[in-house]
């Protein structure tokens, strides 16, 4: 017999079904709670609320497990490449050789962006944060491909939007950087693979014979894989909820880029480096900064620590820490903030404040150190996260569309003034 849950309100009993996921995780299905009882649930920040059923990513925060479509993240990071992982997330299976070749060719053919996009880019001052530029350029695709606004597009039209999104993202990202440094943009070199193409657009100077360093390209590709999806996080939920209104894929993803930007989400990788630099410039007194993070009257938090779902360790952080060591060694880079990061981690992991609250280093703690070693400027860190997360956003948008999910529309408990008559201004 399937499991149920009984809720008793005012001595009246109501029964609700229990839903079990494929990895045995459990939920109480309260879809008809309000209809049956007149009550809603209140869960600010959605800490206990499942917003959807999803077959894309499995995450077990207590045991530090992360799978994309059933494949452990550790194996994908070691053996796969970013475009293959993108295919896996979006289509639910690993591609055959011929499927991958077509996928890669379809994306590579569409890396150019309309020249008029450059006019939009030119309108941004060089003080613009690249995340703002990226989300604007991404959304601007709705103007260049107006057919994408049709919510009932056939599958081949949706496919075209997907490959355009993946193809143009590195071009937008590199151009957002070029705008920030006031340099002319580079065009995509389609002889290169996805990650190397991005690096060349970022770093090649006019007239230079730019050679992509394979150590850098491999490390970046691995980082993109580690960021590719993370189930119903803030930006992904944003993409799904915007998409649920049948807004276009481009505007849904542009909204996701904006959600990712904040320092509590993707913006944390930038904040980690700022924090480590501050600690270094302040004389490297780690105990002082740990005390600040614990002080409830001080707004300072240890950036790159803690996670809404990982309460043991973040498996991505483990892989990234190892990668940071080898990238720095291979490139012969000595970064003093790496020592500070390692000491900070060691001290925090022994401190009862962090232990009791189950606060461990997350994916962002070491990713910034690798980005720095790869020569990527701090303002671009969150853009790198967005490039990595793009396949996840697309896969989640597709799943929501294919499942024909209803518009996302939470309820609330109203705590404002109760009904009262309007008072004319001369009587107040």
Q: Contacts with ligand CMC in 203-222 (CB under 6 A)?
A: none
Whether the CB-CB separation of 303 and 271 falls below 8 Å is answered with yes
Confirm or reject binding of residue 133 to ligand CMC (CB under 6 A): no
Is residue 230 flagged as an active site residue? no
Task: Answer yes or no whether residue 264 interacts with ligand CMC by CB under 6 A.
Answer: yes
Query: HSE (CB half, 13 Å, CA atoms) of 355?
Result: 6
Cα–Cα distance list, 225 to 54, 89, 116, 338, 359 (Å): 19, 11, 31, 22, 24
Residue 82 near residue 228, CB atoms below 8 Å? yes
The set of residues, in sequence order, having a beta carbon less than 8 Å from that of 412 and lying 6+ positions away, is none
Candidates 265, 321, 389, 401: give the one binding ligand CMC (CB under 6 A). 265
Catalytic residue among 282, 307, 314, 379: 307
Stretch touching ligand CMC by CB under 6 A, among 52-60, 84-92, 115-123, 299-307: 299-307
Is 258 one of the binding residues for ligand CMC (CB under 6 A)?
A: no
* The only residue of 233, 251, 252, 396 in contact with ligand CMC, by rule CB under 6 A: 233
Q: Cβ 41 to ligand CMC, closest distance in Å?
A: 18
Q: Would you call 364 a catalytic residue per the annotation?
A: yes
Binding of ligand CMC by 170 (CB under 6 A) = no
Between the alpha carbon of residue 416 and those of residues 409, 412, 413, 419, the distances in Å are 20, 11, 9, 9
Of 113, 116, 106, residue with least CA distance to 162? 106
Q: Is 319 in the site for ligand CMC (CB under 6 A)?
A: no
The answer to the question of residue 305 lying near ligand CMC (CB under 6 A) is yes
Among 268, 340, 370, 380, binds ligand CMC (CB under 6 A): 268
**Smallest separation (angstroms) from ligand CMC to the CB of 34:** 26
Element (H, E) at 252: helix 249-261
Q: Beta strand pairing status for 4-9 and 12-20? A: antiparallel
Which single residue brings its beta carbon nearest to ligand CMC? Answer: 306
388 is an interface residue for ligand CMC by CB under 6 A: no
Other C-beta atoms within 10 Å of 110: how many?
18
Judged by the rule CB under 6 A, the positions of this chain that interact with ligand CMC are 230, 233, 264-266, 268, 293, 301-308, 357, 359, 362-364
> Which residues are catalytic, by number?
307, 364
């Amino acid at each position: 017999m399937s499991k149920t849950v009984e809720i008793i309100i005012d001595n009246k009993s109501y029964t609700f079904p229990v839903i079990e996921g494929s990895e045995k995780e459990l939920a109480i299905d309260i879809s008809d709670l309000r209809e049956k009882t007149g009550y809603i649930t209140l869960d600010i920040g959605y800490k206990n609320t499942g917003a959807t059923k999803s077959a894309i990513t499995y995450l077990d925060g207590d045991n530090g497990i992360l799978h994309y479509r059933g494949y452990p993240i550790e194996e994908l990071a070691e053996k796969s490449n970013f475009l293959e992982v993108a295919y896996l997330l979006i289509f639910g299976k690993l591609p055959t050789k011929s499927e991958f070749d077509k996928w890669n060719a379809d994306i590579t053919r569409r890396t150019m962006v309309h020249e008029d996009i450059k006019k939009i880019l030119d309108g941004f001052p060089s003080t613009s944060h690249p995340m703002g530029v990226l989300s604007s350029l991404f959304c601007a695709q709705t103007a260049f491909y107006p057919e994408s606004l049709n919510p009932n597009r056939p599958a081949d039209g949706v496919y075209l939007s997907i490959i355009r999104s993946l193809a143009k993202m590195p071009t937008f990202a590199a151009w957002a950087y070029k705008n920030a440094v006031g340099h002319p943009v580079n065009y995509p070199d389609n002889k290169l693979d996805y990650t190397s193409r991005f690096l060349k657009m970022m770093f090649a100077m006019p007239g230079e014979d730019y050679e992509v360093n394979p150590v850098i390209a491999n490390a970046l590709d691995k980082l993109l894989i580690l960021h590719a999806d993370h189930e119903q996080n803030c930006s992904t939920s944003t993409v799904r909820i915007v998409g649920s209104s049948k807004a276009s894929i481009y505007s849904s993803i542009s909204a996701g880029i904006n959600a990712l930007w904040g320092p509590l989400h993707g913006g944390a990788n930038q904040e980690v480096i700022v924090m480590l630099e501050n600690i270094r410039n302040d004389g490297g007194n780690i105990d002082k900064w740990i005390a600040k993070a614990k002080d409830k009257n001080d707004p300072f938090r240890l950036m790159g620590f803690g996670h809404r779902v990982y309460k043991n360790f973040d498996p991505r952080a483990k892989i990234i820490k190892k990668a940071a060591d080898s990238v720095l060694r291979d490139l012969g880079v000595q970064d003093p903030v790496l020592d500070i990061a390692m000491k900070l981690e060691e001290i925090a992991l022994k401190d009862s404040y962090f232990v009791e609250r189950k606060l461990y280093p997350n994916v962002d703690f070491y990713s910034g150190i690798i980005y720095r070693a790869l020569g990527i400027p701090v303002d671009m860190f969150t853009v790198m996260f967005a490039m990595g997360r793009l396949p996840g956003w697309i896969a989640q948008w597709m799943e929501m569309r294919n499942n024909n999910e209803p518009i996302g529309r939470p309820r609330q408990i109203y705590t404002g003034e109760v009904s009262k008559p309007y008072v004319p201004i001369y009587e107040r």
